[in-house]
């Protein structure tokens, strides 16, 4: 049984990472993250690997971002260039692009993810306007499952807590863990700023720790670069 403190640590980490992937970081976010790196919630959680190169490079890149004075505007431009909020994406942040046969958004995987959210009583905030399988939303979903498990444990509802943890583990095995590690490594390689490189590597390290703790073995896919967008097929948006 995963203890409450560990679940709380993953909930906090995935919640922060999800938010930073969804939207460019403000200056105060960048300062806050770097200032608290020594207190990163997963540093001492189970399955932590102090020799994990992704974690070491992530911490180095984020600290270097601060030391060389990277600005929020520089981070925003790099975020937009990588994820395509205002231009063609260098490394699309959507599951279906990396896993779908055609490499397009709003494909089969998007709808599978939407059903997983709905089973938990959740939905993407920009439903039918932005794909549900954005990496930030998938990270946030796992964070919410962990948080619900913590709350259930605190109420003494262990069976419900286990159900939430099972939902998070299944979602990781069937979705997040299958594509995000390769996509994050591609984003780290393509990043212009130390900030975005560090964010990608810190997320990759957190996912690796999460899957090791759960004992999940995931067969991943190679990341696709470049961006292709298509209309939603009739009936897909429902």
Cα separation, 67 vs 33, whole angstroms = 14
For the chain, what percent of residues have pLDDT higher than 90?
A: 73
Total tally of structural domains belonging to the chain = 1
Residue 52 phi, psi dihedral angles, 5° rounding: -60, 115
The tokens 């959210």 sit on which residue? 117
Burial 165-194 (b: 16+ CB within 10 A, else e): bebbbebbbebbbbbbbbbbbbbbebbebb
Residue 219 is assigned to a structural domain of this protein:
no
Residue 193 phi, psi dihedral angles, 5° rounding: -105, 150
Residue 29 is assigned to a structural domain of this protein:
yes
Residue 137 is assigned to a structural domain of this protein:
yes
Residue 79 is assigned to a structural domain of this protein:
yes
Residue 223 is assigned to a structural domain of this protein:
no
Residue 44 is assigned to a structural domain of this protein:
yes
Q: Tell me: pLDDT of 238 over 50.
A: no
Q: Average pLDDT in the 25-44 region?
A: 93
Instruction: Quickly count: other Cβ atoms within 10 Å of residue 1's Cβ.
Output: 8
Residue 229, pLDDT score: 47
Question: 207: domain CATH number?
Answer: 1.10.3480.10
Domain that residue 114 falls in: 4-214
DSSP class of residue 80? Answer: H
DSSP class of residue 173? Answer: I
Residue 236 is assigned to a structural domain of this protein:
no
Predicted model pTM: 0.91
What is the separation of C-alpha 194 from the centre of its chain, rounded to a whole number of angstroms?
A: 18
Q: Which two tokens stand for residue 52?
A: 């994990």
Q: Are 202 and 187 in contact (CB under 8 A)?
A: no
Average pLDDT of every residue of the chain? 90
Q: Which two tokens stand for residue 77?
A: 């431009």
């Amino acid at each position: 049984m995963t203890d409450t403190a560990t679940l709380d640590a993953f909930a906090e980490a995935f919640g922060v990472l999800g938010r930073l992937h969804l939207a460019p970081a403000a200056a105060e976010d960048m300062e806050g993250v770097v200032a608290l790196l020594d207190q990163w919630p997963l540093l001492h959680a189970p399955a932590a690997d102090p020799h994990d190169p992704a974690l070491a490079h992530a911490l180095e890149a984020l600290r270097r971002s601060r030391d060389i004075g990277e600005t929020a505007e520089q981070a925003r431009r790099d975020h937009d260039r990588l994820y395509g909020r205002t231009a063609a994406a260098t490394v699309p942040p959507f599951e279906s692009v990396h896993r779908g046969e055609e490499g397009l958004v709003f494909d089969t995987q998007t709808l599978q993810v939407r059903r997983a959210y709905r089973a938990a009583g959740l939905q993407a905030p920009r439903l039918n306007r932005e794909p549900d399988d954005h990496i930030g939303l998938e990270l946030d979903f796992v964070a919410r499952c962990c948080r619900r498990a913590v709350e259930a444990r605190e109420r003494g509802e262990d069976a419900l807590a286990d159900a939430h943890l099972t939902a998070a583990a299944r979602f990781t095995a069937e979705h997040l863990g299958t594509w995000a590690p390769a996509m994050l490594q591609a984003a780290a390689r393509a990043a212009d700023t130390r900030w975005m490189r560090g964010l990608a590597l810190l997320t990759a390290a957190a996912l690796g720790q999460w899957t090791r703790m759960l004992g999940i073995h995931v067969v991943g896919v190679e990341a696709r670069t470049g961006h292709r967008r298509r209309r939603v097929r009739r009936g897909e948006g429902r």
